[in-house]
Amino acid sequence: MTSSPPAVEFERVSKTFPAASGAVRALDDVSFTVEQGEFFALLGPNGAGKTTLISVLAGLARPTSGTARVLGFDVTRDYREARSRLGVVPQELVFDPFFTVRETLELQARYYGVREAGPWIDELLTQLDLTHKARANMRALSGGMKRRVMVGQALVHKPPVIVLDEPTAGVDVELRQNLWAFMKRLNGEGHTIILTTHYLEEAESLCTRVAMLKAGRLVALDSTERLLRGVGGVSVEISAERLPEALAESATLQASGAFGFTLPDHAALEGVLAAFRSAGVSVRELRVGGADLEQAFLRLTARDAGTA
C-alpha cells in the first residue's frame, strides 16, 4: 500500500442479481479511481447501477467479481477498516421510529466507536438545521428533515470518504443549498465527497470530476470541464434572415425562429459565422449557451446506445 492510497478504487467490479426473468447485470466490469480530496459525481439514468456500485463500496452488496477499496482497504477482506473510513447516505429514506433525532445520531456514533460525540453532534445538528428538532421523534419529521438526519448519521464518525446517493431528492431548494455549502466545507477540510444525483446542474457546479454509468457500464470518466468541452460542446442560437446553404445540414430551427447549432467548442463558432458572412447574410443576434452536463450526458448515452 502506498503512503497515500486513492480514496476509492473500483477494480473490474461486476454484479449480477439473480431474477425470475433471467439475471440482471447491474454492474459490468466497472473500474475507476477517486483520489483523496476530490468532489466527484457519479451520474447515470435510473437503473444505471449507481446505487449498486455504492452498495458494493459499503459492503451492502457483494460484487460477483472484482474488488473495491476505501483508502486502500478491501471492502470485503478489511471491511472493518474500510467501513470505519466511509460514510454513506443511502438513497432510500429510512429511519428508526423508536428514537429521537439526537438519539439516532448518538446511537450511530456508538456503532462506530466514537467517544464523546456530543460536540460534533451539536455541530451536525446546527449545520443540518435540525437543532430545534433534536428532541423530536423521527416519526414526526418531514421527508426532507429525515433525509438530513441520514446525512448526519453518515457523518457522525467524521469519515474521510463521504458518499451521498441522491441526497437532494425530496429536499427543498434552500436546504439543498445549505447541504452543498456544508459538503463544500467538508471537502475543503480534506474529505473526499462522492455524490450521485439526477440534478446535473448540481454535479456541474460542485464536482471536479464525473463518472457516467449506463446499463451497468462506465461510459465516461473525465474532469467536468473536459467533459463539457469535449463532449457537450457549445450551443449557439443565431437569428438571421435565412440560413446559408452550407449550414443546412447542421442547424435546427428553434421555437424562437432562430437557428440552433451544437458545436464541439467555441472555436467552431468562427466557421459558422464565416458561412453567414460568405453567404451575405447578416447576423441579427447571437446567443451562446454554455455546454452542460445534460447535453454531454444525452450525447454519451445516445452514442452508447448506437453502438450497442
Partner 1 sequence: MDMTRKPAIARGTILGPGFRALLGKEVLRFWKVALQTIVAPVVTTLLYLLIFSHVLDEHVRVYDGRVAYTAFLVPGLIMMSMLQNAFANSSSSLIQSKMMRNLIFILLPPITSLEIYLAYVLGAVLRGLAVGFGVWLVTLPFVPWHALVPDHPLWNVAFAVFGSSAMGTLGLIAGIWSEKFDHLAVFQNFFIMPLTFLSGVFYSIHSLPVFWQTVSHLNPFFYMIDGFRYGFFGAADVSPWLSLAILLLFNLVLSAVALRLLATGYKLRS
Contacts to partner 1 by CB under 8 A: 17, 55, 58-62, 71, 79-86, 88, 90, 92, 94-98, 107-108, 110-115, 120, 153, 157-158, 160, 186, 189-191
- What would the DSSP string read from start to end of 79-104? HHHHHHTEEEE-SS----TTSBHHHH
CA distance linking residue 304 with residue 218, whole number of Å: 10
H or E segment to which residue 164 belongs: strand 161-165
Interaction partner, residue 152 (partner 1, Mg ion, ligand ADP, none; CB < 5-8 Å by kind): none
Among 2, 3, 46, 282, binds ligand ADP (CB under 6 A): 46
Task: Decide: 155 and 101 in contact? Cβ < 8 Å.
Answer: no
Give the DSSP letter string of 262-288: EESSTTHHHHHHHHHHHTTPPEEEEEE
Paired residues of 240 in beta bridges: 283
For residue 90, state whether it binds ligand ADP (rule: CB under 6 A).
no
- State the minimum distance, in angstroms, from the CB of residue 44 to ligand ADP: 5
Output 94 or 255, the one with its CB closest to partner 1: 94
Contact 300, 212 (CB under 8 A): yes
Q: What is the footprint of ligand ADP within residues 101-160 (CB under 6 A)?
A: none
Q: Which of 39-47, 121-129, 272-280, 284-292 is the region at the interface with ligand ADP (rule: CB under 6 A)? A: 39-47
Query: Cα 219–290–193 angle (5° rounding)?
Result: 50
User: What's the half-sphere exposure (Cβ side, CA atoms, 13 Å) at 75?
Assistant: 25
Q: How many angstroms from the chain centroid is the CA of residue 184? A: 14
Q: Which stretch binds ligand ADP (CB under 6 A): 45-53, 150-158, 284-292, 300-308?
A: 45-53
The single residue among 14, 16, 24, 122 that binds ligand ADP, judged by CB under 6 A, is 24
Q: Which residues of 71-80 are buried (b: 16+ CB within 10 A; e: fewer)?
A: bbbebeeeee
CB of 206 to partner 1, least distance (A): 19
CA 271/CA 261 separation, integer angstroms: 12
Binding mask 73-102 for Mg ion (x = CB under 5 A): ------------------x-----------
Give the residue with the Cβ less far from ligand ADP, 27 or 234. 27
Q: x/- site string to Mg ion, residues 34 to 53, per CB under 5 A?
A: ----------------xx--
Please say whether the dihedral angle defined by the alpha carbons of residues 135, 138, 139 and 144, taken in this order, is positive or negative.
positive
The verdict on 50 binding ligand ADP (CB under 6 A) reads: yes
Backbone φ and ψ for 100, nearest 5 degrees, come out as -85, 175
Q: Please, which residue, 46 or 282, has the CB nearer to Mg ion?
A: 46
Give the shortest CB-21-to-partner 1 separation in angstroms: 17
Query: Does the footprint of Mg ion cover residue 104 (CB under 5 A)?
Result: no
How big is the site for Mg ion, counted in residues (CB under 5 A)? 3
If one asks whether residue 51 binds ligand ADP (CB under 6 A), the answer comes out as: yes
CA 120 to chain centre: 26
122 vs 292, beta carbon nearer partner 1: 122
Cβ closest to ligand ADP, residue 19 vs residue 302: 19
Between the two ends of the chain, the Cα-to-Cα distance in Å is 38
C-alpha cell at 233: 460542446
Site residues, ligand ADP (CB under 6 A): 17, 19, 24, 26, 44, 46-52
